[in-house]
């Protein structure tokens, strides 16, 4: 590799270091070509790239990219995983396959510009992937909404049943009530006539007409006068 080619490789590595959200450095010794292909296929799902690098060129690229903290891991056979997508899924893939093959020893790395030690790498590898977390979060959010929808549906169904029962009883027709005919309207009770003064007559006795009270008195006086005249007439007749 001539100088120009080396310069091109350094620039490419520097760009990848700058663009990556996470960088994992592993020891690739003992990995076979089929295993490397399987690893690259699994990392592709996480939008990550596995690349074997030359330490000396990577040191220069780290200086250009401002990732000097990676330099301490660039000893011995080293491969870098540049993650632009799901860091947890990429770590899970490396950890799972490395455990199966007993290879891919983790050296160190960066995540969001911060150093990532082996313990932190394992902890991230045991986390659910981004898609799995999104599905779990969607399930948590949807659960209360599903319960709310079911509750509202039950309430609406119950209300519809109650309204149906009321409609069957004729309490609710949806039409304006008909007005009663004018001739069927109840007329107000007639006002009572003036009642006789207390003491004038008993209940049920017909009231006396005008002038009627004087007639019996006149008849009595006439009868009395006639009776008083009878003795004289009798005397004359006797004499």
Task: Give the global pTM.
Answer: 0.56
* pLDDT of the residue at 127: 85
Interaxial angle between packed helices 55-65 and 3-19, expressed in degrees from 0 to 180 and rounded to the nearest 10: 50
Describe the crossing of helices 33-44 and 87-101 by its angle, rounded to 10 degrees.
160
Per-residue pLDDT of the chain (239 residues; tens, 9 = 90+): 789 999 999 999 999 999 999 999 999 999 999 999 999 999 999 999 999 999 999 999 999 999 999 999 999 999 999 999 999 999 999 999 999 999 999 999 999 989 999 999 999 998 875 565 566 556 555 556 566 566 666 667 666 666 666 666 665 555 545 555 555 445 555 555 544 444 444 444 444 444 444 444 444 444 444 444 444 444 444 44
Q: Which residue has the tokens 């008849």?
A: 219
Torsion over CA: 54, 60, 63, 69 (sign): positive
Q: Two tokens at 235?
A: 């005397």
Q: Identify the pLDDT of residue 78.
A: 96
Phi, psi of 46 (to 5 degrees): -95, 10
Q: What is the pLDDT of residue 134?
A: 60
Query: Would you state the pLDDT for residue 2?
Result: 86
Whole-angstrom Cα Rg for the chain:
60
Cα distance from N-terminal residue to C-terminal residue, the chain: 198
Q: Which of 57, 84, 59, 82 is nearest to 69 (CA)?
A: 59
Domain boundaries, the chain: 8-127, 129-162
Span 8-127: which CATH code? 3.30.70.1730
């Amino acid at each position: 590799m001539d100088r120009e080619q080396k310069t091109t490789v350094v620039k490419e590595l520097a760009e990848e270091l700058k663009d990556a959200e996470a960088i994992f450095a592993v020891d690739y010794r003992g990995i076979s070509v089929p295993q490397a292909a399987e690893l690259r296929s699994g990392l592709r799902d996480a939008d990550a790239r596995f690349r074997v690098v030359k330490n000396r060129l990577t040191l220069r690229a780290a200086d250009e990219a401002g990732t000097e903290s990676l330099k301490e891991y660039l000893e011995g056979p080293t491969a870098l995983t540049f993650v632009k997508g799901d860091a947890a899924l990429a770590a899970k893939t490396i950890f799972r396959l490395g455990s199966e093959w007993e290879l891919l020893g983790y050296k160190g790395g960066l995540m969001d510009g911060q150093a990532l030690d082996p313990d932190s790498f394992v902890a991230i590898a045991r986390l659910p992937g981004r898609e799995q977390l999104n599905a779990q979060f969607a399930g948590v959010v949807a659960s209360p909404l599903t319960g709310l929808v079911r509750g509202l549906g039950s309430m609406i169904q119950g209300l519809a049943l109650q309204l149906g029962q009321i409609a069957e009883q004729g309490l609710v027709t949806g039409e304006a009530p008909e007005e009663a005919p004018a001739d069927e309207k109840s007329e107000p009770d007639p006002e009572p006539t003036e009642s006789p003064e207390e003491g004038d007559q008993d209940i049920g006795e017909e009231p006396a007409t005008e002038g009627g009270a004087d007639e019996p008195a006149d008849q009595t006086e006439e009868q009395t006068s006639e009776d008083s005249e009878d003795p004289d007439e009798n005397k004359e007749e006797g004499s």
